[in-house]
Amino acid sequence: MNIFRFAGDMTHLLSIIVLLLKINATKSCAGVSLKTQELYLLVFVTRYLDLLYSYISLYNTFMKLFFICSSGCVIWYIREHKTVSQTYDSAQDTFRVLFLACPCMILALTVNHDFTVTEVLWTFSIYLEAVAILPQLVLLQRTKNVDTLTGNYVFLLGGYRALYLLNWIYRILTEPGYRQWIVWISGTIQTAIYCDFFYYYIKSWRNNERLSLPS
Amino acid sequence: PDDAPPKDEL
């Protein structure tokens, strides 16, 4: 594992901790998209099915379990927690997730490395992760004055993707024969989706203003 | 397509 991969994973971990802290400390999930969180849970469950039959390292196993449990925990807060659930604004969080999940499944059934259940589901999770942030970005755009922690959460998630790009470049340069086109192309699209957000996040930070995305 | 990719990343 190289430093970019590790930094990427830690940024991902930190983004989730920031999100959980925000929800727990403010007892509010204002500005957080339940749709995106549900898509992430679907991404993690379909990708980490290999927990049941293959072992890479204790590190990987721990991180996989953490990602599954933490997204389940966020969903539980938004749907079930007595006070937090009251702050969820379902009228704003209206993205049609089937418009994301169905094309990803069709693409996974068509473009994959092996036509087996686990390989297709793994490929589906790669495609779906690339677009799972969209309901969250749409919700931020509808929210005037995004709260700082929610903004930081999305910024860290985007940062994690950018670090993974560096990780792949490093691996291409150092590991002969290493290639994974499906992951690279999806990951590049995923990172590109954040460009616009990064621009406004950095601008608001430099001007010391609350983040708000133009609609 | 080509060989299955490594699944050592998260």
What is the Cα–Cα distance from A35 to A73, expressed in whole angstroms? 14
The average confidence (pLDDT) of chain A is 96
Nearest Cα residue in chain B from A66: B10
Looking at residue B2, its pLDDT comes to: 56
Shortest CA distance to A215 belongs to which of A144, A146, A119?
A144
CA atoms within a 13 Å half-sphere pointing along the CA-CB vector of A67: 25
Predicted complex ipTM: 0.85
pLDDT over threshold 80, residue A60? yes
Judge whether residue B1 has pLDDT over 50. Answer: no
pLDDT of residue A214: 87
Q: What distance, in Å, lies between the first and last C-alpha atoms of chain B?
A: 22
The answer to whether residue A55 scores a pLDDT higher than 70 is yes
For A81-127, the pLDDT digits (tens) are: 999 999 999 999 999 999 999 999 999 999 999 999 999 999 999 99
A179 CB contacts (<8 Å, ≥6 apart)?
A: A172, B2, B5
Q: How many CB pairs under 8 A join A and B?
A: 35
* Predicted confidence band of residue A58 (pLDDT cuts 50, 70, 90): very high
DSSP string covering A119-163, please?
HHHHHHHHHHHHHTTHHHHHHHHHSSSB-HHHHHHHHHHHHHHHH
User: Residue A144: its pLDDT value, please?
Assistant: 81
Which of B5, B8, B9 faces A113 most closely, judged by CB atoms?
B5
Residue of A5, A180, A181 with shortest CB distance to B6: A180
- Residues of chain B with C-beta less than 8 angstroms from the C-beta of A53: none
Q: Do A180 and B5 touch (CB under 8 A)?
A: yes
Per domain, the residue ranges of chain A are 3-207
**Nearest CA-CA distance, residue A60 and chain B, Å:** 7
The whole-number average pLDDT for the span A51-58 is: 94
| Encoded tokens for B1 | 């397509």
Lowest mean pLDDT among A73-77, A143-147, A199-203: A143-147
Residue A56 has pLDDT above 60, yes or no: yes
Please state at what angle helix A117-131 crosses helix A98-110, rounded to 10 degrees. 140
Give me A94's structure tokens. Answer: 């209206």
Q: Which residue has the tokens 């005037």?
A: A144
Under the banding of pLDDT at 50, 70 and 90, the label for residue B3 is low
Q: Which residues touch B8 (CB under 8 Å, ≥6 apart)?
A: A56, A60
pLDDT(A130) > 50: yes
